[in-house]
């Protein structure tokens, strides 16, 4: 069901150029700074993999030296050397370190999915809050026009001797209250506009259609919970964090194992006596290092890593409980919002008839001016409640989709190029050097 409000809205229009909720979501997906910062954070995490893979690769260093001696004037001993060191076995620390880095990338991708959900939900909320604020402003404007007419009519009746000063005072009091409501509505609209610009990335001119996302929701509460358990990014990230902690235990335990490396050095030296002779040498060394005792530090680190692993497992249980609660709460809120719309629309229809009846009764002296004012206020409250119910209905559907873990550009079929985190990862994973990022920075 589309979100439809009064035809006199200043920002809500049916024009093809009006910005729909889908347009706003696409803009936020592409431009929101918080989401783009999370993407940059993921790209930084990607670099942990080539850093870990560097543990398999050789390191090469060069050195040069020259000296002066008062005992040998005119003689400048000098030389250069090149050293290459290649690790052979590191107690499986490099292997498990690579697994940690790769799993950290997977966890960071889930964190990005969660940031995308939160951004899209914030964008949907900002859009609907602006629609609600504009609708309420228009309703209070219509109310002001009605009250001004009541003040004029009361004054006219007093002038011809058919009314009382009480009627005029009551209408003026209601007009003052209506003006205050209008001022509050203006302030609320300005706030909604500021939030919209912050989240979406620009200031709108016209707002178009908005509708719930029921088509992509699970068919039952149990199905929604089951879907959330398998697809919510916070649960998946918690699972990856367990794997990271498990690999970290193995890395720390690897410090108790021997390490093997080979190194080679090439050296060129000029003769220190200035005879023009040179000395070239080459050296190859194989090294075996066996840790025997580290004062208990390594053992403590192993125990610490195991406790962290236990913590991560508990955090997975907590994440599941949190997501389950969010799904149940969002499901109930959506059900309540659906029921509230029907009730609010019925109330608007009924109160509209009441107001018409009271006005007709006032004309024949069966109702007072106060009765008309009260009926108008009740109708205004009902219309505001209807706006709020429709606002809540749309947001509740997006909230439930986020609780399930499916609020993303692909599910919503947004007209935007989806961000592919694999592209950057593939570009940097096996790089052996280079200071520029893939985008040229």
What are 376-426's pLDDT values in tens digits? 788 877 888 888 888 899 999 999 999 999 999 999 999 999 999 999 999
- Rounded to an integer, the average pLDDT of 220-228 is 96
Reduced to 3 states (helix: H, G, I; strand: E, B; else coil), residue 206 is: coil
- 115-119, 212-216, 370-374: which has the minimum mean pLDDT? 370-374
Exposure string over 408-418, b if 16+ CB within 10 A, otherwise e = bbeebebebee
- How many whole angstroms separate alpha carbon 388 and alpha carbon 225? 27
Q: Which domains does the chain have, with CATH numbers?
A: 21-58+90-256+296-428 (1.20.1600.10)
Only one residue has tokens 């219309």, namely: 383
- How many whole angstroms separate alpha carbon 414 and alpha carbon 404? 19
C-alpha 388: how far from chain center = 25
Q: What share of the chain is helix, strand, coil (3-state, %, to 5)?
A: 65, 10, 25
The confidence band for 276, taking pLDDT boundaries of 50, 70 and 90, is: low
Orientation angle between helical segments 221-231 and 369-404, nearest 10 degrees:
50
β-strands 278-289, 59-66 pairing: unpaired
DSSP for 265-328?
EEEEEE-TTSSS-EEEEEEEEEEEE-----TTHHHHHHHHHHHHHHHHHHHHHHHHHHHHHHHH
Handedness of CA 361, 367, 372, 378 (dihedral sign): negative
Q: What's the confidence (pLDDT) of residue 274?
A: 55
The token pair that represents 286 in the structure block: 């194989």
Neighbours of 21 (CB within 10 A): 24
Q: What's the confidence (pLDDT) of residue 398?
A: 96
Average pLDDT, the chain: 88
Q: Kindly tell me if the per-residue pLDDT of 434 is higher than 90.
A: no
The token pair that represents 49 in the structure block: 């993999």
Give 336-389 pLDDT, tens digit per residue. 998 888 888 887 888 788 888 887 877 777 777 777 777 878 887 788 888 888
Give 60-74 pLDDT, tens digit per residue. 999 998 877 666 666
- How many whole angstroms separate alpha carbon 354 and alpha carbon 389? 21
């Amino acid at each position: 069901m589309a979100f439809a409000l009064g035809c006199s809205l200043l920002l809500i229009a049916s024009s093809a150029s009006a910005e729909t909720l889908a347009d706003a979501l696409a803009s936020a997906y592409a431009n929101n700074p918080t989401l783009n910062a999370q993407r940059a954070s993921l790209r930084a995490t990607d670099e942990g993999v080539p850093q870990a893979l560097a543990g398999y690769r050789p390191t090469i260093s060069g050195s040069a030296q020259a000296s002066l001696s008062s005992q040998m004037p005119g003689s400048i001993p000098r030389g250069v050397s090149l050293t290459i060191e290649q690790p052979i076995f590191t107690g499986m620390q490099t292997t498990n370190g690579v697994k940690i880095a790769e799993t950290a990338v997977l966890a960071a991708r889930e964190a990005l999915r969660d940031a995308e959900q939160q951004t899209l939900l914030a964008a949907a909320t900002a859009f609907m809050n602006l629609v609600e604020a504009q609708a309420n402003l228009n309703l209070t404007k219509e109310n002001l026009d009605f009250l001004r007419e009541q003040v004029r009519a009361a004054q006219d009746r007093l002038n011809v001797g058919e009314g009382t000063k009480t009627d005029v005072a009551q209408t003026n009091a209601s007009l003052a209250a209506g003006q205050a409501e209008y001022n509050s509505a203006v302030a609320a609209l300005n706030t909604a506009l500021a939030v919209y610009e912050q989240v979406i990335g620009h200031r709108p001119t016209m707002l178009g259609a908005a509708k719930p996302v029921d088509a992509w929701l699970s068919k039952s509460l149990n199905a929604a919970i089951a879907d959330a358990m398998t697809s919510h990014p916070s649960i998946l990230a918690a699972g990856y964090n367990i794997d990271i902690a498990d690999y970290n235990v193995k890395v720390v335990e690897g410090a108790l194992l021997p390490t093997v490396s080979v190194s080679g050095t090439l050296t060129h030296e000029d003769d220190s006596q200035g005879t023009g002779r040179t000395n070239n040498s080459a050296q190859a060394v194989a090294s075996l290092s066996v840790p025997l005792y580290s004062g208990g530090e390594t053992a403590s680190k192993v125990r610490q890593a195991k406790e962290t692993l236990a913590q991560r497992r508990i955090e997975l249980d907590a994440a599941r409980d949190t997501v389950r609660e969010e799904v149940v709460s969002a499901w109930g809120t959506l059900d309540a919002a659906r029921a509230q719309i029907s009730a609010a629309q019925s109330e608007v229809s009924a109160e509209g008839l009441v107001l018409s009846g009271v006005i007709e009764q006032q004309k024949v002296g069966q109702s007072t001016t106060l009765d008309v004012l009260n009926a108008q206020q009740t109708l205004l409250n009902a219309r505001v409640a209807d706006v709020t119910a429709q606002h809540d209905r749309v947001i509740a559907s997006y909230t439930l989709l986020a609780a399930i873990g499916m609020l993303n550009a692909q599910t919503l079929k947004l007209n935007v190029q989806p961000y592919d985190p694999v592209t950057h990862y593939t570009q940097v994973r096996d790089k052996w050097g280079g200071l520029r990022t893939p985008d040229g920075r």
